[in-house]
């Protein structure tokens, strides 16, 4: 009998703990501060006349919070030739450099007065945070110079950007506010999978994160050409030579015919 009472007591004790843990009003930090993120398009088709596009990112955050958006691409290893002056006169390739763990795309979107937001611990956004995650070789290289020059190259291509004051907020309602931003997708973004990430910050702390996958895929003629190039390289090579020869003959005929008419 005593054994049954002890067993029953243990059961009631364990049941009480389980009920307490599942009571409403005990949410985790992630559920207290949900971060919603939506994209108008999650799949972008790269067709024959594709020249880049835009899409809208939007969501809802707490009224007193701010949000940062980042579009990032797959990590890759990049090899560069570092130029320098030889004999103080000629610019020539002086050395090689390798940047490991480098995102192919890095585009940041911020609201107004965002400098302090980027400094928030745990945000890990911006060029300073990006530099910390990239390994530059050799060790003797001027890493700050190489990183800065690489960023310039990628900015010229339009795949590295910092878009300040590009996130806009709407009126507060029920302790929340909505945000929106126009994301630019340049033509030099290759087909593949990219990540759009939203980070919410309030009073110097990260409240939460949300991610959406963005896919760029070939369509139409570009898809056919890519399939030929990778699936049938010999046939693709023959076709490329044939097209080049035919184009040359047509242009030559046109110029010859034009010259004979005068």
pLDDT in tens, 195-234: 999 999 998 899 999 999 999 998 877 767 767 677 767 7
Could you tell me the residue ranges of all domains in the chain?
Answer: 33-218
Ranges 114-123, 175-184, 235-244: which has the least confidence: 235-244
What was the pLDDT predicted at 81? Answer: 82
Q: Looking at the chain, how many residues does it have?
A: 262
Q: At what angle do helices 233-260 and 221-231 cross, to 10 degrees?
A: 120
Mean pLDDT over residues 60-77, rounded? 95
As a whole number of angstroms, the distance between CA 70 and CA 211 comes to 10
As a whole number of angstroms, the distance between CA 180 and CA 7 comes to 58
Peptide bond into 29 cis (omega under 30): no
Pick the CATH number of 33-218 from 3.90.700.10, 3.30.70.2740, 2.60.40.10, 3.40.47.10: 2.60.40.10
In the sheet with 90-103, reading across from the earlier edge strand, the strands are: 75-86, 90-103, 135-137
The rounded mean pLDDT for the chain is 82
Q: How far from each other are the two terminal CA atoms of the chain, in whole angstroms? A: 120
The pTM for the full model equals 0.75
What was the pLDDT predicted at 88? Answer: 62
Mean pLDDT over residues 163-174, rounded? 93
Q: 198 has which bridge partners?
A: 69, 210
Residue 1 has pLDDT above 60, yes or no: no
> Which of 50-59, 75-84, 244-253 is most confident?
50-59
Token pair belonging to 77: 């290893």
The proportion of the chain whose per-residue pLDDT surpasses 70, expressed as a percent, equals 77
Identify each DSSP E strand in the chain by its residue range.
38-39, 43-46, 53-62, 66-72, 75-86, 90-103, 106-109, 135-137, 160-163, 168-169, 176-185, 192-202, 205-218
Residue 75 has pLDDT above 90, yes or no: yes
Residues 6+ apart with CB under 8 A from 96: 79, 80, 81, 82
What was the pLDDT predicted at 19? Answer: 47
Q: Phi/psi at 108 (nearest 5 deg)?
A: -115, 135
As a whole number of angstroms, the distance between CA 8 and CA 46 comes to 67
Pairing label, strands 106-109, 160-163: parallel
């Amino acid at each position: 009998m005593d054994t049954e009472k002890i067993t029953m007591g243990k059961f009631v004790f364990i049941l009480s703990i389980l009920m307490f843990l599942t009571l409403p009003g005990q949410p985790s930090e992630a559920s207290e501060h949900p971060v919603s993120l939506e994209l108008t398009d999650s799949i972008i088709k790269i067709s024959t006349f594709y020249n880049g596009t835009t899409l809208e990112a939007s969501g809802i955050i707490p009224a007193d919070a701010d949000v940062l958006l980042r579009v990032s691409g797959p990590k890759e290893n990049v090899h560069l030739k570092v130029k320098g002056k030889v004999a103080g006169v000629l610019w020539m390739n002086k050395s090689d450099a390798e940047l490991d763990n480098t995102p192919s795309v890095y585009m940041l979107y911020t609201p107004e007065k965002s400098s302090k937001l980027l400094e928030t611990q745990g945000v890990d956004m911006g060029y300073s945070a990006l530099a910390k995650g990239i390994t530059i070789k050799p060790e003797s290289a001027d890493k700050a110079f190489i990183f800065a020059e690489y960023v310039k190259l990628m900015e010229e291509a339009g795949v590295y950007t910092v878009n300040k004051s590009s996130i806009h907020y709407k009126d507060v309602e029920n302790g929340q506010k909505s945000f929106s931003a126009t994301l630019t997708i340049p033509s030099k973004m290759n087909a593949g999978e990219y990540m759009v990430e939203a980070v919410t910050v309030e009073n110097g702390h990260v409240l939460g994160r949300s991610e959406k996958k963005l896919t760029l895929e070939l369509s139409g003629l570009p898809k056919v050409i890519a399939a030929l190039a990778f699936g049938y390289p010999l046939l693709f090579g023959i076709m490329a030579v044939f097209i080049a020869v035919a184009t040359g003959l047509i242009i030559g005929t046109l110029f010859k015919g034009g010259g004979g008419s005068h």
